[in-house]
Amino acid sequence: MTLGKFRIHREGYKFIAGALVVLAGLNTAGWLIWPGPMLYHYLGFGASLILFVFIVMFFRAPSRPLEPDPLLIYAPADGKIVVIEETYEKEYFRDNRLQISIFMSPFNMHSNRYPISGTVTWTQYQPGRKFHARSPKSSEMNERSSVVVTSESGTEILVRQVAGAVARRIVTYSKKGDRVHQGDELGFIKFGSRVDIFLPTGTAVDVQMFEQVRASRTILARVI
């Protein structure tokens, strides 16, 4: 849905409509059932309006076109860099990889994008627990969805969507064999969460710890 230049993500349609009905119902019931001081009704309406605007903004999906570059690896999510380290990736590569993790607060845009162009060669969904998304355990213990994209040069990059303590649903659009383009939408995570990206060791990193990054805008690393 597009309102002028403002676009609402399709994952938010039902949630926004449901929130509108519930909030409108609560406010109407308050006015009809409890004829208390008008100030309280106005405060309740104001709080409901703020909550509704927050929900709408959460499901925003800005257009971020880019010119694909096979030598660049773009951020797959908006948020803050919380991990840059070499680690053992045990689900697919089963060897050491450079892990970069982006923590997404509820105030970040939650549409996830492909960091490179290529072919989806592996996908896996894993149910799990609800550790806070900042916790190192969340990458291996929480609900997660992993996608491997292989570039034309043969470089494999794993992108892992990880649910956080309040995330309710991970949506991944990737299917094995899909031909995908840098900057295209990979999926969506509803409410707080994180996205991990696993790169070949020795990859030249362009970001620093705690840096704020934007999907399809911030260059995470460069292919060597």
Q: State the distance between the two ends of the chain, measured CA to CA, in whole angstroms.
A: 40
Axis-axis angle for helices 13-33, 38-58 (nearest 10) = 180
- Token pair 């694909």: residue: 68
Catalytic residue among 138, 139, 146, 193: 193
For the question of residue 193 being annotated catalytic, the response is yes
> E-strand spans in the chain?
2-3, 6-7, 72-74, 79-89, 95-104, 111-113, 118-126, 144-150, 156-163, 169-172, 179-180, 185-190, 193-199, 204-205, 212-213, 219-222
Among candidate residues 174, 205, 183, 214, the one with its CA nearest the CA of residue 86:
205
Q: Count the neighbouring beta carbons within 10 Å of the beta carbon of residue 78.
A: 25
Quote the tokens at residue 192. Answer: 């707080």
Sign of CA dihedral 34, 38, 40, 45: positive
In one letter, which amino acid is 124? Answer: Q
Q: How far is CA 177 from CA 150, 156, 191, in A?
A: 10, 14, 29
Tokens of 200: 């070949």
The set of catalytic residues is 193
